[in-house]
């Protein structure tokens, strides 16, 4: 635990003063003092779990600092990673240009045939519909699209 019983006493007196001062506005001083005494006991007892939690938090911070300090030993194994990019940037750029060019095949790789791969008949590449812009669409088509999206 963090601290000692004096922390509990101070916390209890703090509760007594707060409740006594707030109680004086609506109650006689004797009732306010009695309620302040009850608050002092409650705050005194409440300080024990509070001190325990503070002790746990401070201990975990110290343990964490000790763990970090123990990790800072001179062992440098595994601390650096060297990444190297391939030199074929021009090959990549050329492949992207071929894909962007209209009318040319998108890839030099030919799809597998039934003779080469028995799974070729099962696999069908995804052919999504081409997205169209709304700049050249007719008003009726736009209305139909909006009605479809709104569920009308």
Kindly report, residue by residue over 42-98, the tens digit of the pLDDT: 999 999 998 888 888 887 765 665 655 555 555 666 677 777 666 667 777 777 778
Residue 18 located in a structural domain: yes
Kindly indicate the confidence band of residue 21, based on its pLDDT and cuts at 50, 70 and 90.
very high
Report percent pLDDT > 70 for the chain. 66
CA pair distance 69, 6, nearest whole angstrom: 33
Domain that holds residue 58: 5-71
- 125/142 Cα distance (integer angstroms): 30
Nearest alpha carbon to residue 50 among 3, 82, 15, 110:
3
pLDDT at 20: 93
When the pLDDT of each residue in the chain is averaged and rounded to a whole number, the result is: 77
Asked whether 23 and 32 are in contact (CB, 8 A), the reply is yes
Average the pLDDT over 126-136 and give the result: 71
Residue 41 covered by a domain: yes
CA distances from 150 to 32, 143, 144, 146 (A): 65, 11, 10, 6
Q: Which of 35, 36, 37, 46 is nearest to 11 (CA)?
A: 46
Name the pLDDT band for 103 (thresholds 50, 70, 90). Answer: low
Query: Mean pLDDT over residues 123-147, rounded?
Result: 77
Instruction: Calculate mean pLDDT across residues 2-10.
Output: 83
Q: In which band, very low, low, confident or very high, does the pLDDT at 10 lie, cut at 50, 70 and 90?
A: very high
The domain tally of the chain equals 1
Structural domain contains residue 116: no
What is the reported pLDDT for 114?
54
Question: Is residue 16 in a domain?
Answer: yes
Give 115's DSSP letter. Answer: T
Displacement of CA 60 from its chain's centroid (Å): 23
Lowest pLDDT segment from 34-48, 55-69, 131-145 = 55-69
The helix/strand/coil state of 150 is helix
**For residue 38, how many C-alpha atoms fall within 13 Å in the half-sphere facing its CB?**
7
- Is residue 135 assigned to a domain? no
Q: Is residue 58 part of a domain?
A: yes
pTM: 0.39
């Amino acid at each position: 635990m963090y601290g000692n019983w004096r922390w509990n006493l101070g916390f209890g007196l703090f509760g007594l003063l707060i409740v006594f001062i707030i109680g004086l506005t609506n109650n006689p001083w004797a009732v306010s003092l009695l309620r302040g005494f009850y608050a002092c006991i409650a705050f005194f007892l409440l300080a024990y779990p509070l001190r325990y939690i503070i002790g746990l938090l401070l201990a975990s911070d110290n343990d964490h600092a000790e763990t970090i300090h123990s990790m800072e030993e001179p062992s440098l194994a595994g601390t650096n990673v060297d990444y190297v990019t391939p030199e074929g940037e021009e090959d990549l750029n050329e492949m992207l240009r071929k894909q962007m060019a209209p009318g040319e095949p998108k890839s030099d790789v030919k799809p597998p045939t039934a003779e080469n791969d028995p799974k070729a008949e099962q696999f069908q590449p995804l052919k999504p519909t081409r997205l169209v812009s709304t700049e050249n669409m007719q008003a009726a088509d736009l209305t139909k699209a909006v009605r479809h999206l709104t569920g009308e």
